[in-house]
């Protein structure tokens, strides 16, 4: 099992854990109480600095219940944190926009992450014709 070095910047939030067989996404928690008014933007601290392995990045997204429970959306849709953001004070944050007045309490699970290996180097080759079947250029069915 791979080991990831984590520095907790708040000793009152639950520690990160990987739940075998349930999901390979790891929950992240608010590191402080946050009160937001509708339309307000805030970076919510997540209370961790993480040293990812070389060649990996973390993808941070809201939990499926985040909007329902708190009325917030993640402003960058998905955050990507690469392995160079690895210092003692490189705390992870969730940038959010409140769609309604809300309160998020310290230790509330508000987002999740998983790590991915970096994409390999690619070379693009220009062509006048592709080999795949033409599906009409719209969605999975090719129909508008």
What are the chain's domains? 27-117 (2.70.40.10)
* pLDDT confidence of residue 54: 94
pTM of the predicted model as reported, rounded to 2 decimal places: 0.86
Q: What percent of the chain has pLDDT over 70?
A: 93
Q: What pLDDT sits at residue 144?
A: 59
Tell which residue, 112, 111, 123, 4, has the closest CA to residue 56. Answer: 4
Decide if 82 is catalytic. yes
Q: Which residue in 14, 24, 33, 82 is the catalytic one?
A: 82
State residue 133 phi and psi, 5-degree precision.
-70, 135
Which residues are bridge partners to 111 per DSSP?
28, 62
68-80 burial, b at 16+ Cβ within 10 Å, e below that, comes to eebbbebeeeebe
Question: Per-residue pLDDT averaged across 1-25, rounded?
Answer: 88
Kind plus residue range of the DSSP H or E element containing 67? helix 66-70
């Amino acid at each position: 099992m791979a080991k990831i070095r984590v520095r907790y910047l708040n000793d009152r939030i639950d520690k990160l854990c990987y739940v075998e067989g349930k999901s390979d996404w790891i929950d992240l928690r608010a590191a402080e109480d946050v009160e937001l008014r509708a339309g307000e933007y805030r970076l919510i601290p997540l209370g961790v600095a993480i040293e990812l392995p070389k060649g990996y990045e973390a993808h941070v997204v809201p939990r499926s219940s985040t909007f329902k429970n708190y009325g917030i959306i993640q402003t960058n849709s998905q955050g990507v944190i690469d392995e160079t953001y690895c210092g003692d004070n490189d705390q992870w944050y969730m940038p959010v926009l409140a769609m309604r007045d809300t309160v998020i309490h310290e230790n509330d699970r508000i987002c999740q992450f998983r790590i991915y290996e970096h994409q390999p180097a690619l070379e693009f080759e220009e062509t006048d014709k592709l080999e795949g079947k033409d599906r009409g250029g719209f969605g999975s069915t090719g129909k508008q």
